Each structure stands twice: as structure tokens, then as C-alpha cells.
């Protein structure tokens, strides 16, 4: 896909895989919308990407994804300022070692890694549909396979909290709801796919598993592939790793789990959707 006249939003684009994804897309000439949590850092990264790519079609949007109200504010800002959105890359994510709640009383891992992207995607759907053919690309994780049972009464760590289970749960929720969205958007010319970026040397990896990984250049490849490659035009509801379609876990493939995660996510974000 020639991206020189395409507008692409990359969340979590001031660090790690997100920054590299934005850099690669900017090098291809796309109009890249860069999201970050810190305005100061976002401005610095924007300047760096401008210098590295000589692409002046870059813009910065700031929002704290632990706040669904902030996600809504950013989505409104994007809709006011952008007439088109051809690709949304849901990349932002984090890892919380302790049980923390946001202002809505929701567990932070579930909010930042899942609900924020779920809400943002739904708020920008009309703009994506108007810009079709369009794509939604969500960075999930192979960690979604680590969860063998879903405790529907403990989604917010109400009974117990394990940081690795919380992370796996948030990624499972993303795979389930994005596959559900792919079905709901059938015929709209908006495709929805998820991916595992690999075990990549990022701040998140150091915070969580404290191990070494592959380069961010490798980590961004599948996101850029799903955002731009003509060969995946029309492909939807799939999960990729290393630019190859892979099977998802049995839990993620269960239609009842997909719908239940969708209904719960919709209820938890309802007050931020018109």
C-alpha cells in the first residue's frame, strides 16, 4: 500500500516498538499521528522523527491511557483535526507489578493494555469507515496463551492479583474483542487484526520478565506489515507473528468468550461513548 497519502495513528509511539513503528511509517512517507503520555517527551520524539525521516507530516497527540476520560478527549481532538484515518495501530501497553486502580476503580493493566485501545478504536470507527479501505492493527502478545482459565469474577483483581496473569488477561481480552470487532465490521472495508511482536528488548520487557530480547526494529516489523502490505488487504480477524498468520489460544477462539469480553468492555467504557 502506498502510504504517502495515508494517515496512520500509532499509540505508545514515544518508546520501544511504537516509536520504531512510527519511524518506519514516517520513512515510508505516511502522515503519522504519534501518541504519547508525556507532552514533553512527545515533542522531543516528534522532533527526532522529523530529523531522522525528513517527513514533516507528523503530529503529536497526548493522552494518559490509564484514564479513559483522557482517551475520549484525545479521540475527540483527533476527530476535530483529522479528516481521514486509514490505519490505527493500537500499540500502547504497560506492566504493573502491584494491584493499582485508576480513577474509575478499574485495574490498571486491564485499562492500559485493553480498555484504552478498545475505547479508542470504537470512538474512531466512524472516521476509519469514512476513510475505508482502512485497518485496525492491535499489538497483543503470545502471553494471551498463558491463561488457561478465565475467572470472570476477578477481571479487576477483586479477589487476587498476579502481575503476569493480569498481563495475560489483558492481552487475551484484546485478542477476543478485536476478533469480535472484525466480525461486526464484515463488509465495511475496515479490517481488524492482532499480532505478537516477539520477545523484544523494551522497557516493558525489563519491567516484567527482566530478560533480554530482540531489537525494536524486529518488533515493529509485523505492525508495519499489517498496516501497509497489499497482500493483507481484506484479511481480517487474524493473529500474526513474524508476519505470518498463527493460531490463537482455545480461550481466544471461543465465540462465547469473545462476546462476553466485548459486552464487559462495552459496559466498562459506556460512559465515555456517545
| 190's grid cell | 475496515
To the nearest 5 percent, what fractions of the chain are helix, strand and coil?
A: 50, 15, 35
Taking alpha carbons only, the member of 192, 188, 11, 200 closest to residue 93 is: 11
Can you give the residue range of the structural domain that contains 30? 7-272
Task: Give domain status of residue 1, yes or no.
Answer: no
* 104-125 pLDDT, tens digit each: 999 999 999 999 999 999 999 9
| Within-domain flag for 2 | no
* Per-residue pLDDT tens over the stretch 51-106: 999 999 999 999 999 999 999 999 999 999 999 999 999 999 998 999 999 999 99
Tell me the per-residue pLDDT of 196-227, one tens digit each, with 9 for 90 and over. 986 545 555 455 555 565 677 888 999 999 99
3-state secondary structure of 227: helix
Assess if residue 210 is contained within a domain.
yes
Q: What is the CATH number of the domain that holds 226?
A: 3.40.50.720
* CA-wise closest residue to 226 among 23, 129, 55, 88: 88
Distance, in Å, from the CA atom of 10 to the CA atom of 33, rounded to the nearest integer, reads 6
Number of domains in the chain: 1
Is residue 199 in a domain?
yes
Residue 153 belongs to a domain? yes
Would you say residue 95 lies in a domain?
yes
Q: Which residues are catalytic?
A: 167
For residue 145, count other CB atoms closer than 10 A to its CB: 18
Give pTM, 2 decimals.
0.94
Mean pLDDT estimate for the chain: 94
Amino acid at each position: 500500500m502506498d502510504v504517502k497519502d495515508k494517515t496512520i495513528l500509532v499509540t505508545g509511539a514515544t518508546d520501544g516498538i511504537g516509536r520504531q513503528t512510527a519511524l518506519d511509517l514516517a520513512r515510508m512517507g505516511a502522515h503519522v499521528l504519534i501518541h504519547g503520555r508525556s507532552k514533553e517527551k512527545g515533542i522531543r520524539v516528534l522532533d527526532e522523527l522529523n530529523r531522522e525521516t525528513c517527513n514533516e507530516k507528523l503530529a503529536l497527540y497526548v493522552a494518559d491511557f490509564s484514564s479513559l476520560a483522557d482517551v475520549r478527549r484525545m479521540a475527540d481532538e483527533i476527530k476535530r483535526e483529522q479528516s481521514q484515518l486509514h490505519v490505527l495501530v493500537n500499540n500502547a501497553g504497560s506492566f504493573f507489578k502491584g494491584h493499582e486502580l485508576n480513577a474509575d476503580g478499574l485495574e490498571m493493566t486491564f485499562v492500559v493494555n485493553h480498555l484504552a485501545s478498545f475505547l479508542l478504536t470504537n470512538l474512531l470507527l466512524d472516521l476509519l469507515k469514512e476513510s475505508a479501505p482502512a485497518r485496525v492493527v492491535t499489538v497483543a502478545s503470545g502471553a494471551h496463551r498463558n491463561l488457561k482459565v478465565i475467572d470472570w469474577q476477578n477481571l479487576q483483581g477483586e479477589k487476587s492479583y498476579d502481575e503476569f496473569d493480569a498481563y495475560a488477561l489483558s492481552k487475551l481480552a484484546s485478542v477476543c474483542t478485536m476478533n469480535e470487532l472484525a466480525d461486526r465490521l464484515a463488509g465495511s472495508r475496515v479490517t481488524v487484526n492482532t499480532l505478537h511482536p516477539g520477545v523484544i528488548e523494551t522497557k516493558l520487557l525489563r519491567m516484567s520478565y527482566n530478560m533480554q530480547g530482540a531489537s525494536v526494529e524486529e518488533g515493529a516489523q509485523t505492525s508495519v506489515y499489517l498496516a501497509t502490505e497489499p497482500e493483507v488487504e481484506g484479511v481480517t480477524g487474524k493473529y500474526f507473528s513474524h508476519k505470518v498468520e498463527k493460531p490463537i489460544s482455545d480461550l481466544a477462539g471461543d465465540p462465547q468468550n469473545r462476546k462476553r469480553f466485548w459486552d464487559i468492555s462495552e459496559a466498562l467504557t459506556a460512559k465515555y461513548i456517545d
